[in-house]
Amino acid sequence: SRLCAAEGHAGQGAAACSAQHRSAAACHPHVELRTIGASVNGRPIDLVRVGTPSASKRRIWVTARQHPGETMAEWCVEGLLRRLTDPHDPVACKLTQRATLYVVPCVNPDGAVQGLLRTNAAGVNLNRAWEEPDEKTAPEIACVLAAMDATGVDLFLDIHGDEILPYNFFVTNRGLPNFDDRHERMLSKLERAYQRASPDFQTKVGYPPNSPTNVNWSIGARAVGRRFDCVAVTLEQPFKDNADAPVPHTGWSPARALKLGAAFLDAALDVVGVLRD
């Protein structure tokens, strides 16, 4: 069943999403669903934990749909969750032996239900609220960050969509003051692994390089990367099509976003052993 489907803009969409999460969690002994907070309008912020935590395991966090108009983000995270909770998938099983994954499929449920583009119900762009989230106007980020503080973070993936560039790519922390040679080794390995796992992912086209001065630390991947000294990336997907592998009659579709999310598990497994080297 769909986990918080991208088309869930109806009034009861958030409740249906939560019910689907709970149903999925009930079917898997190593999957836990809990509500870590509430949105501005009181909707639950669901956290799906896959894998049993232990001190020897790495902690991988995934968030999606801070910007509610970027519906491909939830299709992507759904593909990731479907595969991650498949007890017959050897990559998922191996990954959850070595890491615990914490997934927030819909950071902005109010925006999704209300059909907003980039903000929550208080008019806040949540991906500009991570440095010091206000519990009244950005409770969604405040509760996610508190949960991260409780677990720690070794790798962070924040899933989005881009209206201009017809490619799938990472927005990285290269060039920022806290990004060092260790981060570069891990990030480069992750990028290569994702390219092998999915030809839909590429590294040649993306945003301009970061400037080390006047850094906006309120952006999610930047804030998390600095706070936890970890590799943190934003995955951007196209609204149009993937120019490297165009499908003119559909463009970038839900089915392709599902596959891209599932393929991230291969990349994560490839790097999990070096995340704290």
Domain of 184: which CATH number? 3.40.630.10
Tell me whether residue 55 is in a domain.
yes
Containing domain of residue 106, as a range? 13-274
Residues facing 188 on adjacent strands? none
Q: What CA–CA distance (Å, rounded) separates 211 from 109?
A: 32
Tell me whether residue 2 is in a domain.
no
First and final C-alpha spacing in the chain: 38
Q: State the pLDDT confidence band at 134, using cuts at 50, 70 and 90.
A: very high
pLDDT (0 to 100) of residue 4: 38
Ramachandran category for residue 16: left, alpha or beta (phi over 0 → left; psi -120 to 50 → alpha): alpha
Residue 45: its H or E element = strand 44-50
Closest CA to 150 of 36, 273, 44: 36
Digit-coded pLDDT (tens) for 1-22:
333 333 443 334 455 555 666 6
Q: State the pLDDT confidence band at 28, using cuts at 50, 70 and 90.
A: confident
pLDDT at residue 84 tops 90: yes
Domain count, the chain: 1
Tell me whether residue 8 is in a domain.
no
Digit-coded pLDDT (tens) for 107-120:
999 999 999 999 99
DSSP state of 201: B
Tell me whether residue 3 is in a domain.
no
pLDDT (0 to 100) of residue 15: 56
Tell me whether residue 1 is in a domain.
no
Segment 244-272 shows an average pLDDT of 98
Positions marked catalytic: 236
Segment 197-203 shows an average pLDDT of 99
Q: Is 172 helix (H, G, I), strand (E, B) or coil?
A: coil
Residues facing 235 on adjacent strands? 159, 170
189, two tokens = 């390995």
